[in-house]
C-alpha cells in the first residue's frame, strides 16, 4: 500500500481518499495500483455495499496525472514508465466504470485530467461551489484521455468538442447542468453527507437528493448556441474557419484560446471523440486511448508543452507541426493504429 492514498473501510463503505496535497493529489502508478487492489477486494466482500472516492486536505480531488514523471519517462526511458502508468490508470478507470457496487465521487475543488477519470465512472458524482472541472490536455500536447473520449463525445450538442479543444474550465453548476455531476451540494455539507452514507449505504440516492440544492445559473448554457454552431465542424480547420468568420467577442476569445493549443493534439482529440461514438464498450475506449497515449507520450509536442507550461513556465510552446494544415491525416492515422501483439492495453 501507499501513503499517497488513504484506503479505509467504515462499516459497509469502502473509502478511497487521495493524499498528495502538495501535488493537488495528482495520480501516480502506485496510487492507481493501490486503488485497483482495494476495489478488487471490496468487489468480492459481501460486507462492503458502496465506495466513496474523495481527497484528503487540499485544493481539489485531483489535478491529473504525474506530468513530471511522464515527461521524464519520455526523455529518459523511451516512455516505458509512462506506458506503465497509463496501463494502470486506464485499468482503474475501466474498473470503476464497470464496478458492480455504487461509487460516490466527490468532485470538490480541482477535478481535472486524471481526476475526471476516477470521478466520471461513478454512479453518483457530487459537484460543489468549489468544483473546477477541465480536460486541459491539448495545452500540453496530450489529449483528453482517462475515458475523456467516451464522456465528452456523449455530452449534449458540441459541448464535448468545445471542452476537449479549448480545455475550458467548468464550475459545479455547469457540471451539473450538462450531466457531468449528478448532484450539487454545498461543500460545508459534505462531511455530514459522507457520514450519512456510511450510516446507511443502501440509501445513497435519497441522502444525496435531500442534501442537494439548486445550483447558480450555469454560464455554459448561455453560450450553448455559439458552441453548437461554431464547434460543429468535423475538422479543426472547419471549426477555426467558423470562429474566424464570426464577429462576436465570444468567438474571438475562443479563437485566441485555440491558437495556444497543439494543433496535433486538437486533431487527435477530435478524431478520438468521433471514433468513440462507434465503440461498443468502455474497454474498447481504453484500448484506443492507450494506443494514442503510448505514441503521444513520445511526441515533440508533449515534451515541448510540458516544458513551456510546467517546467520553464514560459507559456510559449513551439508546436511542431505548427499549424492545423500541416498535421496530415496519415500522422493522425498512425497515432490510432493498433499496437504490436502483446503491447495492447488489457482490462483487469
Q: Residue 248: which region, alpha, beta or left (left: phi > 0; alpha: psi -120 to 50)?
A: beta
Question: Which SS3 state, helix, strand or coil, does residue 77 take?
Answer: coil
Q: Which of 114, 115, 139, 160 is catalytic?
A: 114
Among the listed residues 49, 96, 4, 325, the one whose alpha carbon sits nearest the alpha carbon of residue 204: 49
- Residue by residue, DSSP assigns 169-229 as -B-HHHHHHHTS-SEE--GGGHHHHHHHHHH-GGGHHHHHHHH--PPPPPHHHHTHHHHHH
H or E, element range at 134: strand 132-134
Q: Which of 89, 137, 254, 304 is catalytic?
A: 137
* Residue bearing cell 492515422: 333
Among the listed residues 191, 193, 187, 196, the one whose alpha carbon sits nearest the alpha carbon of residue 215: 187
Give the distance, in angstroms, between the CA of residue 223 and the centroid of all CA atoms in the same chain.
22
Pairwise CA distance, residues 115 & 57, whole Å: 15
259 is catalytic: no
**Exposure string (b/e) for 278-304, b if CB count within 10 Å is 16 or more?**
ebeebbebbbbbbbbbbbbbebebbbb
Q: Which three cell numbers stand for residue 68?
A: 513530471
* Residue bearing cell 507550461: 309
Q: Which of 58, 60, 64, 65 is catalytic?
A: 65
Contact residues for 256 (Cβ-Cβ < 8 A; gap 6+): none
Q: Which three cell numbers stand for residue 207?
A: 441522502
Contact residues for 189 (Cβ-Cβ < 8 A; gap 6+): 211
65 is catalytic: yes
114 is catalytic: yes
**What residues pair up with 55 in beta bridges, in sequence order?**
18
Question: Which SS3 state, helix, strand or coil, does residue 170 take?
Answer: strand
Q: Which of 145, 171, 174, 285 is catalytic?
A: 145
**What residues pair up with 111 in beta bridges, in sequence order?**
62, 133
172 is catalytic: no
Among the listed residues 117, 53, 54, the one whose alpha carbon sits nearest the alpha carbon of residue 91: 117
**What residues pair up with 106 in beta bridges, in sequence order?**
126
Any idea which residues carry the catalytic annotation?
A: 65, 114, 137, 145
Amino acid at each position: 500500500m501507499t501513503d499517497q492514498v488513504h484506503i479505509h473501510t467504515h462499516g459497509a463503505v469502502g473509502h478511497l481518499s487521495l493524499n498528495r496535497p502538495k501535488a493537488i493529489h495528482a495520480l501516480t502508478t502506485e496510487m492507481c495500483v493501490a486503488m485497483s487492489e482495494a476495489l478488487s477486494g471490496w468487489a468480492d466482500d459481501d460486507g462492503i455495499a458502496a465506495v466513496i472516492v474523495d481527497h484528503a486536505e487540499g485544493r481539489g480531488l485531483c489535478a491529473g496525472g504525474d506530468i513530471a514523471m511522464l515527461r521524464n519517462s519520455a526523455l529518459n526511458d523511451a516512455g516505458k514508465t509512462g506506458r506503465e502508468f497509463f496501463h494502470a490508470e486506464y485499468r482503474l478507470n475501466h474498473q470503476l466504470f464497470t464496478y458492480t457496487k455504487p461509487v460516490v465521487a466527490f468532485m470538490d475543488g480541482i477535478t481535472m485530467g486524471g481526476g475526471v477519470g476516477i470521478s466520471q465512472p461513478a454512479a453518483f458524482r457530487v459537484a460543489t461551489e468549489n468544483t473546477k472541472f477541465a480536460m486541459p490536455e491539448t495545452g500540453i500536447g496530450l489529449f483528453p484521455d482517462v475515458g475523456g473520449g467516451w464522456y465528452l463525445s456523449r455530452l449534449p450538442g458540441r459541448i464535448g468538442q468545445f471542452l476537449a479543444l479549448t480545455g475550458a474550465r467548468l464550475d459545479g453548476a455547469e457540471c451539473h447542468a450538462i450531466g457531468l455531476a449528478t448532484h450539487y451540494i454545498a461543500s460545508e455539507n459534505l462531511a455530514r453527507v459522507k457520514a450519512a452514507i456510511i450510516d446507511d449505504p443502501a440509501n445513497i440516492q435519497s441522502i444525496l437528493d435531500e442534501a442537494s440544492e439548486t445550483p447558480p445559473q450555469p454560464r455554459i448554457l448561455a453560450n450553448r448556441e455559439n458552441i453548437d454552431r461554431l464547434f460543429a465542424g468535423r475538422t479543426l480547420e472547419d471549426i477555426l474557419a467558423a470562429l474566424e468568420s464570426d464577429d462576436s467577442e465570444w468567438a474571438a476569445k475562443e479563437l485566441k484560446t485555440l491558437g495556444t493549443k497543439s494543433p496535433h493534439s486538437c486533431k487527435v482529440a477530435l478524431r478520438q471523440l468521433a471514433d468513440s461514438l462507434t465503440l461498443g464498450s468502455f474497454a474498447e475506449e481504453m484500448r484506443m486511448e492507450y494506443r494514442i497515449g503510448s505514441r503521444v507520450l513520445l511526441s515533440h509536442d508533449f515534451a515541448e508543452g510540458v516544458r513551456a507550461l510546467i517546467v520553464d513556465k514560459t507559456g510559449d510552446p513551439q508546436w511542431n507541426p505548427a499549424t492545423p494544415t500541416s498535421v496530415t491525416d496519415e500522422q493522425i492515422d498512425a497515432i490510432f493504429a493498433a499496437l504490436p501483439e502483446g503491447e495492447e492495453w488489457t482490462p483487469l
